[in-house]
């Protein structure tokens, strides 16, 4: 479920734990093409970089998806900061 309440169905396309990459796609009449990937890269001691790519058609969904992705970034950051704290 997205922040605006929209619920979409997605399918897992690929998951590669060794390369820390996952790919999935949105299913539904709203899209003619959708492919999303996330991959984590080591950036040095205790640091990493998340690369999130989302390709979708029709182009009209781009603004809505960009806003949804922007909304999720702080959620990811907060979750990762919480997970990284020593217990």
- What is the chain's pLDDT, residue by residue, as a tens digit (87 residues)? 777 888 889 999 999 999 999 999 999 888 999 999 999 999 988 788 889 998 999 999 888 888 888 888 888 888 877 766 665
Residue 40's pLDDT is what?
93
pTM, two decimal places? 0.76
Token pair listed for 46: 């205790």
State the Cα–Cα distance between residues 32 and 44, nearest whole angstrom: 39
Domains, the chain, with CATH or none? 9-84 (3.30.530.20)
State the Cα–Cα distance between residues 75 and 16, nearest whole angstrom: 23
State the Cα–Cα distance between residues 43 and 40, nearest whole angstrom: 9
In the chain, the DSSP E strands lie at: 9-16, 21-27, 33-44, 47-57
Closest by CA to 9, choosing from 40, 38, 30, is 30
């Amino acid at each position: 479920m997205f922040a605006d309440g929209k619920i979409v169905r997605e399918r897992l396309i690929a998951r590669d734990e060794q390369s820390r990459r996952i790919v999935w796609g949105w299913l539904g009449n709203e899209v003619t093409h959708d492919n999303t990937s996330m991959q984590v890269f080591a950036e040095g001691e205790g640091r990493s970089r998340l690369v999130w790519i989302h390709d979708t058609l029709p182009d009209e969904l781009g603004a809505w998806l960009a806003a949804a992705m922007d909304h999720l970034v702080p959620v990811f950051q907060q979750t990762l900061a919480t997970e990284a704290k020593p217990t």
